Amino acid sequence: MLRVYVSDKRRAPAWISAVPKRLVSCISENVMAQMLPKHVVHQGVAVELKESTSRDISALENTQPNCVVAMLDGVTDPHNVGAIIRTAAAFGVSGVILPERSSCNVNGTVIKSASGGAEVVPLYTVGNLARAIETLKSYGFWIVSFSEAGTAFPHELDLTEKVCLVFGSEGHGIRKRQIDSSDFVAKLPTSPDFTTLNVSATAAIAFYEVARQNGFQIL
């Protein structure tokens, strides 16, 4: 975090008090409106952050035995990407892998939707998801893709080892090449009358199940 800008300290959220005073600047509504893109709903608060930098997946080679990462195959809605990153932070996911193409960029909408999660969860960008999957396998990761056509429920799988959870695009799901490279294809135990869930909701349930199996304590 580089600096926080507020247009009215009296209406600022409570977390502002935890920010060092030297990093907080009070500016007028007009100045804030000029600072931000026109479509942004800022609610009187803006945060200047360091530019998000992507990591190389080679950093995942020597991770802990119960390391979990998520891979997004063509998720284009920045609100969904941000929500997945936020939930990943909440459940201790060690990273989110994004493709260079066929996905949204990590932009302001993603950062805002992540609600601070992008500052916690490492982001990895890869040129080819299929090659990234093979690389993760060589690091000892099990690949679990989520699809309505899955043959197992998450709670039936042993998710206490290194695992990469793959989630597909909002419209077409996971591409066949990624499905074929998976060790398991899982589905959620949803109602037969309505099986479809938003990708960010699916990811949240999957993250919880992995955390539960690994002894994550819910306070």
Contact, 114 vs 82, CB < 8 A?
yes
Contacts 24+ apart (CB under 8 A), 34-41: 35/5, 37/108, 40/108
- Chain segment 97-140, per-residue pLDDT in tens: 999 876 677 777 787 788 778 888 999 999 999 999 999 999 99
The whole-angstrom separation of Cα 76 and Cα 18 is 34
pLDDT at 196: 81
Strand partners, 26: 6
Instruction: Extract the tokens encoding 95.
Output: 């990273």
How far from 27 is each of 9, 30, 89, 181, CA to CA, in Å? 10, 8, 31, 52
**Structural domains of the chain sorted by starting position, each given as residue range(s) with its CATH number in brackets:** 3-48 (no CATH), 57-213 (3.40.1280.10)
Q: Hey, which of 40-44, 171-175, 215-219 has the most confident mean pLDDT?
A: 171-175
- Chain segment 25-69, per-residue pLDDT in tens: 888 888 888 887 766 677 788 777 666 567 889 999 999 888 999
Closest-CA residue to 211 (of 87, 119, 57): 87
- Chain segment 182-196, per-residue pLDDT in tens: 999 999 998 888 888
Contact, 153 vs 187, CB < 8 A?
yes
pLDDT at 102: 65
Label residue 219 by pLDDT band (50, 70, 90): very low
Residue type present at position 6: V
DSSP-derived 3-state class of residue 131: helix
Residue 173: other Cβ atoms inside 10 A: 19
pLDDT higher than 60, residue 148: yes
- Chain segment 73-94, per-residue pLDDT in tens: 989 899 999 999 999 999 999 9
Residue 110: other Cβ atoms inside 10 A: 25
Say which residue, 70 or 13, is predicted with more confidence.
70
pTM (2 d.p.): 0.79
pLDDT at 135: 97
How far from 54 is each of 17, 115, 143, 176, CA to CA, in Å? 30, 18, 21, 26
